[in-house]
Chains A and B, each alone.
Chain A
Amino acid sequence: MKVKESEYLKLKKPILEKLLEKLLVSYEYASILANDSKSTNYRVSKTGTSISEDGTLSERGFCVKVYDNGKAAEYSFSAIEEDTVDAVFDEITKRLDTLGKTLPDGVTAFRFDGVEDEKLYINESTEYEVDPEEKGDNNIIDLLTRISEKGRAYDEKIIDCNVAFSYQKYSKMFLSKNKDLTQNVMWSCGHIVAMAKDGEEVQNSYKPVSMLGGIEVLDTLESKLEEACKTAIELLSAQPMIPGEYDCICEPDVTGMIVHEAFGHGVEMDMFVKDRAQAKDFIGKQVASELITMHDGATVIPQVATYFFDDEGVVAHNTTIIEKGILKTGICDAQSAMHLGVAGTGNGRRQDTTRKAYTRMTNTIFEAGTSKVEDMIASVKYGFLLCQASSGMEDPKNWGIQLMVDIAREIKDGKLTGKIFSPIVLTGYVPDLLKSISMISDRIEAGGTGFCCKGDKEAVKVSDGGPYIKAKIRLG
């Protein structure tokens, strides 16, 4: 089934076209992004049940972008009717004209030359099997409750089992002089968090599922319950890591965090514009092992960051960032592309229509290799299998790594010993880690239950992943 177009946006389209027409008289370029998005979160745990629309992802809103004598400006609003077009237009021109009249000493407004606005028409929808709204809130809650109760009964050390499902169904419309774009997208996610307690210490284990589609994502969630409970209990007896550099095998979610946090952020080309990314000086150079080929793009895989055009009206791409270890290019939003004199890659994304567009990742992965996971583990004399990525922070300027994983499983003479260490901080220099990759598994896994931020804000949905990788990594 294809996701249906928003009736609300269909109604607003002629009104927005009128506003656009007026804006194009006053400015050399004008566009309008309209969003009708609904996202609902369902949660069940020992402490209770909740069903609520998501405040970050749900909205009906509009963002106007103009270039005024080359100067970029935007205005966000949430209401417009046939009889308020003139008032909205007046408010836009008045407020944008007033702002920035006085700039700090030595600061000037940047002027962009000739905004590209090629003729383009898109009206596309993603597919799903079962719409969560049709499945019904009662059936969703029943399923989550069953899994949560089963988890809580697993062992007396399990103090809670938080089970959640969320989805977002959105329609976006982008209008400019030459563009008339509409897309209708739905993704869904679920997760289990098993919590175990011993004394003052509480440990948890997180098992996610995500897909481009509907409630069918939950078909595989329950199968992850036992592992979540078992791991949470195991973590209660984990030992602290002895700092050092080790041979490590990374599970796909840890690979995904390396792909996304350690390297992906460094090839966001708005960072090139600001001279904030070392990658700018490494285009055409080796940055990773020859085994590594890396992609980002809304069309790379069908996942939570799949779309047909970005929030600046640029068609979605599949960008090959690293090819056999050589850095080929970065990813780019439209305005950064104008700064750099390159083409946009469809990576201009906004948290919502009240926020600016930045260069953002979408679905980011390493390609698969040829090794078998069991052969990779067997090849390690002493090292660790790294599991359950928990958090990471980018450092495009210095390519420093800060990643945290919950579990390091000890490997001795090619075999898992059953001993586990936690928590684990991965540090080092990104190209050193990527160049040390010596084996890659023959299958990839990707997921996208979390959000990516720019600094500490601007949350957007992304997915990442890849194969199991073997690398030398400094652990602490």
Chain B
Amino acid sequence: MKAKILASLKRLSIEEYMIYVKSYKSTQMFFVKKSLDCKRAENTQIYNVNVFRSFEKDGKKMKGNSSVFVYDGMTDEEIDATLSRAYLAASFVCNPTYEAMECTENKFLTMESDLFDYTLEKCCEKISQALFAEDNREDAFINSAEVFAYEVGVEIISSTGIDSGYIKRTVSGEFVAQCKEPQDVETYKDFRYNNLDCESLKSKVRKTLEYTLERAKATEAPKAGKYRVIISDSYVGNVFSYYSERAQAGYIYAGYSTFEVGQNVQALDAEGKVAGIKGDKISMTLVPTEPLSGEGIWQRDLELLDNGVLKTYYGGLRFSRYLGIEPTGFFGCVNVAPGTMSVEDMKKEPYLWVVNFSDFQMDDFTGHFGGEIRLAFLYDGEEVRPVTGGSINGSIIDSQTTMHFSKEIQRSADFVGPYAMCFEDVPVAGA
């Protein structure tokens, strides 16, 4: 199919293009209680072709592009018709011109992983066994689960000479823990690993079963008011997206973000004025989860923030070219340095520690964060009790100079950083 696409591009005299080929092999298992409800296997391939067209409009140089899918089994005539439609469409896309992505180095990588030591079927079975290994309690159990083992192959071919790719394997899935007494409650968790990380999954299941038990004991919502709020686990990573999103070339070019390189962006107040940081300062590195971006950029780690100071912008090809910076691609993982307080230190003063939200939201535009509380621990200075219900409604812009991060760290496929963080005076809608 690649040869057919290249021949069609040549026939149509399309000079600038990028072909993105992605193949998926997967095995999938779906469990309800202690039953395998359904199993699935997959072998599919997609071909996405992005065609570019340079032209002039009102005396200005423009470059348009349009992307389409080409499918196995298409005839030469069908491919020609699809690509020529895309090429025509590109002439209506009036974006200021920019340089194409040059070829730096061509190679094909197999991402290191012990998942390649087994068949996909075995990977799926082994991770399923790890998932159910901790499901041996009387008081809480796994209600249902889905387990996936994927092998994804990516290949990029461009008119500028890029001909590179990689193969990677992952295991991922989700599970629901349930506890029926003293009240019937559940907790949803998902997981994703680049290796056969059975011990991490077992630990996650064990902790989730324990939290679900606590939630079953929680009946009251916290009273409405302002609290010292601690959040932990994956929600911490979500908060830092405020900084990584606002440093994107696309946000800067559009004026959505006023972050400036060299500026202490953590010290900005709502009016954009600089204030002092009394809490922990953020040092953040962006880490790629794929070696090659969808635009053919070989990716590497990128230091974004050093003690709250923005080191660089980053992003895809077009906006990076407009800003005159090196295109870096986008990053699937954020690495944040730990803070100065231990979790135990955070818990010395009264707190509301939310360990499970129904859906935590971080709005990168407004800076608001929050969500409904599924399970939290409330310490009023005398006792700790589990609470459920109500919601937190905070603002990172109001909190960023006083927030603290834990010394303890957490690791997942998309975040490595403090296990917990603490905010002062966060509004809580409660009972």
**Which one of A92-100, A212-220, A380-388, A461-469 is at the B interface?**
A92-100
The interface size of chain B toward A, counting residues with CB under 8 Å, comes to 98
The answer to whether A108 and B36 touch across the interface, beta carbons within 8 angstroms, is yes
A137 CB within 8 Å of chain B: yes
Closest to B50 in A: A52
Which residues 267-284 of A sit at the B interface, judged by CB distance below 8 A?
Answer: 273-276
CA distance A100 to B367 in the complex (A): 46
A436 CB within 8 Å of chain B: no
The answer to whether B44 and A76 touch across the interface, beta carbons within 8 angstroms, is yes
The answer to whether A99 and B39 touch across the interface, beta carbons within 8 angstroms, is yes
B128 CB within 8 Å of chain A: yes
Which residues 402-443 of A sit at the B interface, judged by CB distance below 8 A?
Answer: 402, 404, 423, 425, 427
Point out which of B176, B190, B429 has the most chain A C-beta atoms below 10 A from its C-beta: B429
Contact with A along B19-42 (1 / 0, CB 8 A): 000001011111111111111111
CA distance A50 to B93 in the complex (A): 6
The answer to whether A159 and B256 touch across the interface, beta carbons within 8 angstroms, is yes
- Chain A residue numbers with a CB within 8 Å of B153 are none
B72: which of A78, A105, A109 is its contact (CB, 8 Å)? A78
A78: which of B71, B93, B429 is its contact (CB, 8 Å)? B71
- Chain A residue numbers with a CB within 8 Å of B254 are 45-47, 159-160
Contact with B along A217-246 (1 / 0, CB 8 A): 000000000000000000000001101100
Contact with A along B75-91 (1 / 0, CB 8 A): 00000000000001110
A273: which of B26, B32, B250, B363 is its contact (CB, 8 Å)? B32
The answer to whether B42 and A104 touch across the interface, beta carbons within 8 angstroms, is no
The answer to whether A48 and B44 touch across the interface, beta carbons within 8 angstroms, is no
The answer to whether B121 and A98 touch across the interface, beta carbons within 8 angstroms, is yes
B372: which of A74, A244, A393, A456 is its contact (CB, 8 Å)? A393
The answer to whether A100 and B224 touch across the interface, beta carbons within 8 angstroms, is no
The answer to whether A402 and B42 touch across the interface, beta carbons within 8 angstroms, is no
CA distance A110 to B144 in the complex (A): 13
B424 CB within 8 Å of chain A: no
A134 CB within 8 Å of chain B: no
- Chain A residue numbers with a CB within 8 Å of B89 are 51, 137
Please give the distance in Å from B400's CB to the nearest CB on chain A: 10
B125: which of A78, A103, A398 is its contact (CB, 8 Å)? A103
The answer to whether B124 and A91 touch across the interface, beta carbons within 8 angstroms, is no
CA distance A43 to B272 in the complex (A): 30
CA distance A159 to B72 in the complex (A): 43
Which residues 200-249 of B sit at the A interface, judged by CB distance below 8 A?
Answer: 224
Closest to A424 in B: B393
Contact with A along B294-336 (1 / 0, CB 8 A): 0000000000000000000000001100000000000000000
B44: which of A72, A77, A100 is its contact (CB, 8 Å)? A77
CA distance A398 to B429 in the complex (A): 19
Top 5 closest pairs, chain A to chain B, by CB: A476-B429, A402-B372, A393-B359, A243-B429, A79-B72
Q: Which residue numbers of A lie inside 8 Å of B, CB to CB? A: 8, 45-53, 55, 58-61, 71-81, 91-92, 95-96, 98-110, 137-138, 141, 159-160, 195, 197, 199-204, 240-241, 243-244, 273-276, 335, 354, 356, 391-393, 395, 397-398, 400-402, 404, 423, 425, 427, 455-456, 474-476
Can you report 8 A-B residue pairs in the complex whose CB atoms are below 8 A from each other? A48-B93, A100-B39, A104-B131, A159-B256, A203-B365, A356-B38, A404-B361, A427-B390
Q: Which residue numbers of B lie inside 8 Å of A, CB to CB? A: 24, 26-46, 48, 50, 64-69, 71-73, 88-90, 92-95, 119, 121, 124-125, 128-129, 131-133, 143-144, 174, 176, 178, 184-186, 188, 190, 224, 250, 253-258, 268-272, 318-319, 357-359, 361, 363, 365-368, 370-372, 374, 388-393, 397, 427-430
In the complex, besides A102-B129, A356-B38, 8 extra interface pairs with C-beta distance below 8 angstroms are A53-B48, A53-B67, A55-B69, A71-B36, A197-B256, A276-B143, A423-B366, A476-B428
